[in-house]
Amino acid sequence: MPARHAKSKSPYTLDREYPGAFEGETVTRRRFMTVGGQAAGGIAAASFLLPALGFAVGPIFKGTPVRWESVGPEDMFNEDNYIPVILTLDPTIGEAGKTTVYVRKKNLAIDTDPYDKTTPYIAISTRCAHLGCPVRWVDAAERFICPCHGGVYDLLGRPVSGPPVRPLDRFYSRVNKAGEVELGPRFSVNSELRRFSPRYPGETVDGIGQYLYPSRPGAQKL
Amino acid sequence: MPKLPAPPMPSALQAPPPRPGDPDAKAAPVDHAVTAGHTVVDWVDERTSMSGAARWLMFRKVPKGTNWFYTLGSATMFAFLSQAVTGVFLAMYYQPDANGGAYESLRHVTNEVFLGQFVRSMHKWGASVMVVLVFLHMGRTFFWGAYKYPRELNWVIGVVLLILTMVMSFTGYLLPFDERAYWATTVGININGTGPLIGPYLSDFLLGGPEIGATTLSRFYAIHMLIVPGAIAALIGAHLYLVAKLGTTAPPWSKAEKSEELREAEA
């Protein structure tokens, strides 16, 4: 009989002459102890690694509470120019959690985009859409200008020069019963001013960009 | 002119020879100290066999032509040690409090603590020194071809050390929590966010929330003083082990010496 037709040897049984192996045994005691010891070590390590990892990664999935903050009476704002107001993004860290927002009453002659019909006020975020530096509204030029890398935006916040990849973010606005303008969460817009859930600066939301740069799981547009 | 032997000391000044059977009766205190030192080292070595490892690490053969450029790696390591020591002492005063406490604690270190400004400046400028030294060391390795077989793994470890040094620079920059720290970190996190698909999630992980806040600062502090320094120390150990194991390369301009037989054959 050729050797290849011989009954194949079991890797663990007596025919291999392992010390302490019984005939017909599929797993030797030595093998069992090795695997068992490694499994116990793996379980012990996972029992502290997995909770620690979840603890560090958890904030990604935490929802952002929707805050509305009053920024001033209605007659403080007009249709022709931006008024800077201070908005609190994170109330827990003092001055660092505040940001400037430029607010203008909606002007149907200028704000002709079809996507944002309900917002009574245009609230432009000062976070540059390039890398997040604070932009400033320059009245004489009628442009938002970023000090860091030369991003320039027009009256509606659309980029006209420099590296920004999308228009400036905006904030939801509403008027409360006392006649005060309230600003809500941030949202991003694409080059046609269509609304998207907030993205980080530097991330385009045009075309495939909206899928390449997903928003935070906890942050959705209203 | 041949040097004449020194004349013998007068017998009055010569130490008397030790008596037989009483070896250290007249030993000087310094001899006792030396003996005590030997005893301690022997005691440790008998139980650990460390002297062999120390000899293996320190008394290696180095190629002909070894020069000052070979000290750049050690210089980088000492820059790291300096950062570690000054960092530990800064951590005794620093508070990772985003609501003004971080800036205030560093103002206190700079203006009021004895030598505080000196130690903080050592840490601040030492960070730049370390980055410069890392690049000089890397350039030396690259231009001299010292990354080639069998030292590729050491090059890879070195690149990981370079990245970790950059992580240290990036996370350390936020800790003063002043305007420059805030905006530089904003830009840095947003650059990182422009990576497709996982970039935004990485930004979320670094920020620990939608904006730079208290979580971001304590997160950066933990990365800066716990995670990365431990990884750097461990990788420096692996880097040094491979240097000792594989030896250093000769400079590219040094030529191999011809063997004896070849020289004879040519003659």
**pLDDT by residue (tens digit) across A89-114?**
888 878 888 999 999 999 888 888 87
Q: Tell me which chain B residues have a C-beta less than 8 angstroms from the C-beta of A216.
A: 200, 204, 210
**For strand A159-161 and strand A152-153, is the pairing parallel, antiparallel, or unpaired?**
antiparallel
Q: Tell me which chain B residues have a C-beta less than 8 angstroms from the C-beta of A62.
A: 209
How many residues appear in chain A? 222
Q: How far is B163 from chain A (nearest CA, A)?
A: 21
User: What is residue B117's predicted lDDT score, i.e. its pLDDT?
Assistant: 96
- Identify the helix (H) or strand (E) that includes residue B162: helix B152-174
Hey, are the CB atoms on A200 and B99 less than 8 Å from each other? no
Q: Are A219 and B210 in contact (CB under 8 A)?
A: yes
Q: How far is B160 from chain A (nearest CA, A)?
A: 22
Q: How far is A69 from chain B (nearest CA, A)?
A: 17
Gap between the Cα atoms of B2 and B135, Å rounded: 52
Q: Are B126 and B83 in contact (CB under 8 A)?
A: yes
Structural domain spans, chain A: 14-61, 69-212
Gap between the Cα atoms of A71 and A10, Å rounded: 79
Q: Please name which of A160, A153, A105 lies closest in space to residue A128, comparing C-alpha atoms.
A: A153
User: What is residue B265's predicted lDDT score, i.e. its pLDDT?
Assistant: 79
User: What is residue B231's predicted lDDT score, i.e. its pLDDT?
Assistant: 98
Tokens 């916040």 correspond to what residue? Answer: A157
Q: Please name which of A111, A25, A197 lies closest in space to residue B200, comparing C-alpha atoms.
A: A197
Alpha helices by DSSP H, A11-133: 29-57
Q: What is the CATH architecture of A69-212?
A: 3-layer Sandwich (2.102)
The list of chain B residues with pLDDT below 70 reads 1, 22-27
User: What is residue A92's predicted lDDT score, i.e. its pLDDT?
Assistant: 80
Q: Are A151 and A135 in contact (CB under 8 A)?
A: yes
Q: How far is A94 from chain B (nearest CA, A)?
A: 5
DSSP label at residue B210: S
ipTM rounded to 2 decimals: 0.79
**What's the whole-model pTM score?**
0.82
How many residues appear in chain B? 267
Cα distances from B154 to residues A121, B58, B159, in angstroms, run 60, 19, 9
- Identify the helix (H) or strand (E) that includes residue A124: strand A121-125
Q: Please name which of A137, A142, A139 lies closest in space to residue A123, comparing C-alpha atoms.
A: A137
The list of chain A residues with pLDDT below 70 reads 1-25, 220-222
Residue A203, chain B, CB below 8 Å: the answer is yes
Q: Tell me which chain A residues have a C-beta less than 8 angstroms from the C-beta of B98.
A: 92-94, 96
Q: Which residues pair with A174 in a beta bridge?
A: A182
Q: Tell me which chain A residues have a C-beta less than 8 angstroms from the C-beta of B183.
A: 132-134, 148
The SS3 assignment for B249 reads coil
> Is the four-CA dihedral A52, A57, A58, A59 of positive or negative sign?
positive
DSSP label at residue B94: -
Q: Which residues pair with A102 in a beta bridge?
A: A84, A124
Gap between the Cα atoms of A52 and B189, Å rounded: 23
Hey, are the CB atoms on A201 and B190 less than 8 Å from each other? yes
Gap between the Cα atoms of A156 and B94, Å rounded: 44
Contacts for B205-211: CB closer than 8 Å, 24+ residues apart:
B205/A56, B205/A57, B205/A59, B205/A60, B207/A59, B208/A59, B209/A59, B209/A62, B209/A90, B210/A64, B210/A89, B210/A198, B210/A216, B210/A219, B211/A89, B211/A90, B211/A97
Residue A136, chain B, CB below 8 Å: the answer is no
Six token digits for residue B104: 């205030």
User: What is residue A23's predicted lDDT score, i.e. its pLDDT?
Assistant: 63
User: What is residue B113's predicted lDDT score, i.e. its pLDDT?
Assistant: 95
**For strand A98-105 and strand A83-88, is the pairing parallel, antiparallel, or unpaired?**
antiparallel
The domains located in chain B, with CATH, are: 68-246 (1.20.810.10)
Q: Are B224 and B42 in contact (CB under 8 A)?
A: no
The SS3 assignment for A155 reads coil
Q: Tell me which chain B residues have a C-beta less than 8 angstroms from the C-beta of A213.
A: 193-194, 196-197, 199-200
Closest residue in chain B to residue A204, using alpha carbons only: B194
